[in-house]
């Protein structure tokens, strides 16, 4: 195994795990403060119990995420020293600000966890807002670095192939950053909301105890409130990102769509498997002119195909296209189920009859539970695989940023064990929290 392959596998593994912890830490506080607000206004003991449970889960994932994030910072230096030597002066301020956001989140989380009986209800609730906002800011600031890797700004390349005239603050005014940050943040709310909704729907589908039904229904409603707004906004932000790829990363867009030949009235392909040798996407359902229209609101827009680029600058077309299709299909499925859920909620509300949700809807919510995280991971595969072979788009190839050390496989094995242990720890705490939720004493 080459150093490049081992280093890429290790980063993929690390980021894949860390995103799960980070997503829960970003989205769960939003559900937590919604539940506490209901308790403050209606003195609903079930809402207070939900806020307690979700605060514990936030604390667990915050601690595990801190470990996995620290490991990632070591990996950047160990595996990608050439990349860090080039990019460090530019992305340093963004990482420093992310560190401040992380510490602010830790302070507010401590106040929230230990302030239930020590702070006034309003002060305690605002501490929850501090956790939610600083957690979101932490993720958003990390995205500034990735946005810079996609759209490098703030420097010129000097005679020694190193950056000169460095303007590190340009990273924080990068036009690629807002859309990427919005897309990523919404995906965490969507993933965590649907995962939580699926868990409560599963309990209701199996037949919760009568004393626990209202608790489960309230948990489901708050989770769907968090997830549904993100599910509605996500296609809009995704469309804007695709238009930006058309203008600034056309090779990525071509790989996403399995689009090999430059043409006007380019078709949108749904499904299919790209055949790189034959330069066609087989078995796809094609909608004529739709890709051109989505790219620039005009069916006559010319969309660059992979034939416009040297073969050694193509992304992995199969991986990028399949991941993109998985992301879009998962997002559409979640949006459809969210609309179904709120339609049934509206019907129950207008009829005045507290009928249980249809079992078919509960089953659909259960099936959607993993789709948010599947879409989150697939979206990052599209983002990163679609940028290849560049680690800094158009400036530095991934192969030129990796460590020259040959024994990277040992590091890969070690970090694989670390992340496997962290995952087992997360599963253990989730099972404990699920057991605690089932105890009636915690709901009063």
Euclidean distance between the first and final Cα of the chain, in Å? 57
Look at the chain and report how many structural domains it folds into. Answer: 1
Amino acid 439: pLDDT: 52
b/e code 180-212 from CB counts within 10 Å (16+ = b): bbbbbbbbbbbbbbbbbbbbbbbbbbeebeeeb
Neighbours of 322 (CB within 10 A): 20
Tell which wins on pLDDT, 436 or 366: 366
Q: Per-residue confidence at 353, pLDDT binned at 50, 70, 90?
A: low
Name 392's bridge partners.
396
Question: In which residue are the tokens 């039904």 written?
Answer: 213
b/e code 149-170 from CB counts within 10 Å (16+ = b): bbbbebbeeeeeeebeeeebee
* 442 pLDDT more than 80: no
Q: What is the mean pLDDT of residues 345-360?
A: 81
Q: What is the mean pLDDT of residues 84-93?
A: 91
Angle among Cα 365, 369, 374 to the nearest 5 degrees reads: 135
Tell which wins on pLDDT, 334 or 436: 334
Amino acid 1: pLDDT: 59
Q: What is the pLDDT of residues 70-84, one digit of tens each?
A: 888 888 888 888 999
Angle among Cα 118, 123, 127 to the nearest 5 degrees reads: 95
Q: How far apart are CA 16 and CA 10, in angstroms?
A: 10
* 346 pLDDT more than 70: yes
Residue 391 backbone phi and psi in degrees, to 5: -85, -35
> Which positions ≥6 away from 48 have C-beta within 8 Å?
35, 36, 39
Q: What is the mean pLDDT of residues 345-350?
A: 84
Q: What is the pLDDT of residues 285-341, one digit of tens each?
A: 999 999 999 998 889 999 999 999 999 999 999 999 999 999 999 999 999 999 999
Q: What is the pLDDT of residues 406-421, one digit of tens each?
A: 777 777 777 788 888 8
Angle among Cα 257, 258, 260 to the nearest 5 degrees reads: 120
Amino acid 48: pLDDT: 93
Q: How many CA atoms lie less than 13 Å away from 120 in the CB half-sphere?
A: 3
Q: Which of 132, 112, 108 is nearest to 121 (CA)?
A: 112
State which residues form the domain around 197.
3-443
Q: What is the pLDDT of residues 236-251, one digit of tens each?
A: 999 999 999 999 999 9
SS3 percent helix, strand, coil of the chain, rounded to 5, is 75, 5, 20
Name 275's bridge partners.
280
* 231 pLDDT more than 80: yes
| Tokens encoding 175 | 């036009």
Query: Is this structure's pTM higher than 0.75?
Result: yes
Q: How far apart are CA 75 and CA 179, in angstroms?
A: 27
């Amino acid at each position: 195994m080459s150093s490049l392959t081992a280093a890429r596998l290790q980063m993929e593994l690390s980021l894949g795990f860390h995103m799960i912890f980070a997503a829960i830490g970003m989205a769960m506080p939003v559900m937590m403060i919604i539940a506490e607000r209901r308790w403050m206004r209606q003195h609903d003991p079930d809402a207070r119990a939900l806020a307690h449970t979700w605060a514990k889960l936030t604390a667990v994932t915050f601690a595990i995420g801190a470990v996995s994030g620290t490991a990632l910072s070591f990996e950047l230096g160990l595996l990608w020293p050439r990349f860090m030597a080039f990019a460090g002066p530019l992305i340093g301020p963004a990482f420093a600000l992310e560190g401040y956001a992380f510490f602010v989140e830790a302070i507010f989380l401590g106040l929230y966890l230990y302030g239930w009986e020590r702070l006034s209800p309003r002060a305690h609730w605002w501490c929850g807002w501090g956790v939610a906002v600083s957690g979101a800011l932490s993720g958003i600031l990390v995205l500034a670095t990735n946005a810079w890797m996609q759209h490098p700004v703030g420097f010129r390349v000097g005679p020694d192939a190193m950056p000169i005239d460095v303007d590190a603050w340009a990273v924080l005014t990068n036009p690629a950053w807002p859309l990427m940050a919005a897309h990523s943040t919404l995906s965490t709310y969507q993933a965590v909301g649907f995962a939580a909704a699926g868990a409560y729907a599963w309990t209701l589908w199996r037949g919760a105890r009568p004393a626990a039904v209202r608790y489960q229904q309230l948990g489901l409603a708050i989770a769907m409130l968090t997830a549904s707004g993100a599910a509605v906004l996500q296609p809009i932000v995704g469309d804007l990102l695709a238009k930006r790829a058309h203008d600034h990363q056309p090779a990525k867009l071509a790989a996403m769509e399995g689009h090999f030949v430059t043409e006007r009235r380019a078709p949108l392909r749904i499904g299919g498997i790209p055949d790189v040798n034959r330069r066609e996407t087989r078995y796809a359902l094609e909608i004529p002119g739709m890709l051109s229209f989505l790219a620039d609101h005009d069916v006559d827009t010319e969309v660059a195909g992979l034939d416009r680029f040297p073969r050694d600058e193509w992304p992995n077309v199969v991986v990028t296209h399949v991941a993109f299709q998985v992301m879009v299909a998962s997002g559409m499925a979640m949006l459809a189920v969210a609309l179904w859920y709120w339609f049934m909620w509206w019907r129950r509300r207008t009829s005045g009859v507290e009928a249980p949700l249809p079992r078919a809807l509960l089953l659909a919510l259960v099936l959607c539970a993993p789709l948010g995280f599947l879409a989150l991971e697939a979206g990052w595969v599209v983002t990163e695989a679609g940028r290849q072979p560049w680690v800094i788009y158009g400036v530095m190839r991934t192969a030129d940023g990796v460590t020259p050390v040959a024994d990277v496989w040992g590091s890969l094995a070690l970090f694989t064990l670390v992340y496997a242990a962290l995952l087992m720890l997360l599963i253990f705490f989730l099972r404990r929290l699920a057991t605690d939720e089932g105890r009636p004493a915690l709901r009063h």
